[in-house]
Chains A and B, each alone.
Chain A
Amino acid sequence: MFLYTKDAPKGDLRKTYGETLIELGRKDPKLCVVDGDLSTSTKTAMFGKEFPERFFNVGIDEQNLIGIASGLAYDKDRTVFASSFAMFLTGRPWEIIRQHVGYNDLPVKLVATHAGITVGPDGASHQMNEDIAIMRAIPNMKVIVPADNHILKKILYKAYETPGAFYIRLSREKFPVVYPEDVEFELGRGFILKEGKDITIVAIGLMVSHALDAASILKENYGIDAEVIDPVSVKPIDGELIAQSAQKTGKVVTIEEHSIIGGLGDAVISALAEKYPVLVKKIGIPDTYGESGTAIELLRKFELMPEQLAGNIYKWLNSSK
């Protein structure tokens, strides 16, 4: 059922976002979109072109952006998609998200683009590695990280159909296609993308394809049979699926293009601690800031490329025997 191969074609998540917004906008004449002077980058401009009266590009004022989105959504009879870069959508207006979108569980679907270090040359000021942590901490907020454009489309429909607050995290880069177009997405249900018996790898976003490549390398180079899981939704997380896998393999590695503090790794550890505690290795951005560089150079610097992942997982397996 899963398409992924080493030379899988790449899909443009932001373009899928723009196209899906137009579909949803045609279906639902009440749906609104709010952006903060990044609509050409986030692709909400595509919606704005077709539905100018329901599109609000409010300028460079992200707190105001979230306030306006909340005001549009308070009666809960309009779904609002709100977008900017991950840094500016979640960082600057965090408290306003918490007080309105979260506290009142408003139908505001926060869709951030340009998350993580793959933003590249813009540097640390734009590399948001802490968004999952701060969004997870808000009660009612669902946190979803698509691994490709196919599942993104299903996530956007699900977020639209499901009442309440969502945070959906996209990147600037195109991602290799992992899922078939007709993939089914259910909130809080993950996928086993590759079965294995020696170790469980849980990954999200771009790291899903990297984890699958790393699993192939682990098999070829070291004879290690890894199971690869994409939980898709970090909150709620599919703890059942991960715990079952941990029972089988006995060890878990998490991989995310996000800080190792407060992100996928900690969500997995919390779930396992209650169900089936095992040793867990968190792989991601260490407790530091990024810097300018190309996406690939930075992925390499932080040892998130498949060969590096495989090597480090192998080392950890040996050292933690």
Chain B
Amino acid sequence: MNPTKSIEELKELARKVRIETIKSIYLAGSGHPGGSLSITDILVALYFGGYVNVDPQNPYKPDRDRVILSKGHAAPSFYAVLALKGFFDKELLYTLRKLGSPLQGHVSRKHTPGVEASTGSLGQGLSIALGMALKRRLDNLDYKVFCLLSDGELQEGMTWEAIMTAKHFNAKGLIAIIDNNNIQLDDFVTKVNSGIYPIEDKFKASGWHTITIDGHDFSQILKALDEAVKISEEKPVAIRAITVKGKGVSYMENTPAWHGKAPDREKFIEAMKELGVSDKEIEEFLTKYDR
């Protein structure tokens, strides 16, 4: 296990990840800020709270823990975490979505070290995670498989096929984390297709252990992950993390319009200020990188 960090340190890392997320989306001119910001604290807890055992120097070591970003459009915050973890140079974050960049619009195992599965088409990750959990048994290993899902992905049939099948095959080490920000692309989940609720009951009925938390409260996230890691050796675990889409940038928070667009220069500066970046740093960044 990696050394764990204090909650204060995790909060500071999460702030950095949010800054890099917005910077990279701003420079790319497109991308998905809302769902990247809602999953940030969970990603930081996983990678810096000591739950994901990975070696950036040897990213595909057979016994590593796996993280599947099933909601592949949250690539910007995932890339920022991988960069801070040391998988690649932070400078690369500013090539996001550009021709020839290893940082594709949606995560791609072909392109980026640390990525386990190429996603972007929603609803496929949990089956992949299940396959990896079944492989663990065949390979006599004990790695964990964390699958990060959006609530919108619970509308895809394939997600439920995986939920059903995990129990049947008695998968060990499988932990699904649902980023429940209640917003999808067109509108709020409760407006488009509320049938995903109640989430816990459905997982429970399929033989999963469930935990419900505030996905922005580090003490709750860490406690849930401790519990999940333990119980996942008996049965698959689903953590429903109640989150705020766009968390950390007020004008994006809980606003469907900020699902999939980049801020303009003015809005970018506003976001940076709110995230605690000084005027001087903003100016330096824009001078160096802006189009």
Taking beta carbons and an 8 Å cutoff, which residues of A are in contact with B?
37-41, 45, 57-64, 87-88, 91-92, 120-126, 291-294, 297-298, 301
Task: Please indicate the chain B residues that have their CB under 8 angstroms from the CB of A125 in the complex.
Answer: 72, 104-106, 108, 118-121
Contact call A40/B120, Cβ cutoff below 8 A: no
Given known A-B contacts A292-B98, A293-B98, A294-B99, A123 and B155 have beta carbons under 8 A apart: no
Residues in A with CB closer than 8 Å to B120 are: 122-123, 125-126
Known: A59-B193, A60-B156, A61-B156. A292 touches B104 (CB 8 A): yes
Measured in the bound complex, the distance between the Cα atoms of B105 and A301 in whole Å is 17
Q: Which of A60, A124, A292 is the one whose CB lies under 8 Å from B123? A: A60
User: Which applies to chain B's interface (DSSP): helix, strand, loop or mixed?
Assistant: loop
B54-62, B184-192, B209-217 - interface stretch? B184-192
Minimum CB–CB distance for B220 against chain A, Å: 27
A41 and chain B: residue at smallest CB distance:
B185
Interface members, chain B 166-195 (any A CB < 8 Å)? 184-187, 189, 192-193, 195
Min distance, Cβ B175 to any Cβ of chain A, angstroms: 22
The 9 lowest CB-CB distance pairs between A and B, nearest first, are A125-B120, A59-B193, A293-B99, A123-B105, A59-B155, A121-B97, A123-B104, A122-B105, A125-B106
Across chains A and B, the number of contacting residue pairs, with CB separation under 8 Å, is: 102
**Residue from A41, A57, A124, A125 having most chain B Cβ neighbours under 10 A:** A125
The answer to whether B30 touches A123 (Cβ under 8 A) is no
Establish whether residues B184 and A60, one from each chain, have CB atoms under 8 Å apart when the complex forms: yes
Other-chain residue from B97, B106, B111, B152 in contact with A59 (beta carbon distance below 8 A): B152
A37 lies within 8 A of B185 (CB)? yes
B101 interface contact, C-beta 8 A: yes
- Contact indicator A123/B184 (Cβ below 8 Å): no
Give complex CA distance A125, B121 in Å: 6
Contacts of A45 in B (CB 8 A): 186
Residues from chain A with a CB closer than 8 A to the CB of B100 are: 291, 293
Within 8 A of A (CB), among B9-45: 28-31
Asked if B106 and A39 make an inter-chain contact with CB atoms under 8 angstroms apart, the answer reads no
Closest beta carbon of chain A to B263's beta carbon, Å: 15
Name the residue on B nearest A92 (C-beta).
Answer: B121
Assess whether A37 is in contact with B99, with CB atoms less than 8 Å apart: no
Report the bound CA distance from A121 to B97 in whole Å.
Answer: 5
- Chain B residue nearest to A61 (CB atoms) is B155
- How long is the Cα–Cα vector from A122 to B101 in the complex, in angstroms? 12
Q: Report whether B184 and A37 are in contact in the complex, using a CB–CB cutoff of 8 Å.
A: yes
Contact bitstring B118-139, A, C-beta under 8 A = 1, else 0? 1111110000000000000000
How close is A129's CB to chain B, nearest CB, in angstroms?
14
| Distance (whole angstroms) from the CB of A125 to the closest CB of chain B | 3
Q: Does B157 contact A (CB under 8 A)?
A: yes
Q: List 7 A-B contacts (CB under 8 A).
A: A60-B152, A64-B155, A122-B30, A122-B106, A123-B97, A123-B120, A291-B111
With a 10 A CB-CB cut-off, give which of A62, A87, A121, A301 has the most chain B CB atoms.
A121
Q: Are B105 and A59 in contact (CB under 8 A)?
A: no
Q: Which residue of B lies closest to A56 (CB)?
A: B193
Given A62-B156, A292-B101, A292-B104; 13 other pairs, CB 8 A cutoff = A57-B187, A61-B156, A61-B193, A92-B121, A121-B98, A123-B97, A123-B108, A125-B104, A125-B108, A125-B118, A292-B105, A293-B99, A301-B99
Instruction: Determine if B153 is an interface residue (Cβ-Cβ < 8 Å).
Output: yes
- Distance A291 CA – B108 CA, assembled complex (angstroms): 10
Chain A nearest CB, measured from B106 CB (Å): 4
Are B157 and A121 in contact, CB atoms less than 8 angstroms apart?
no
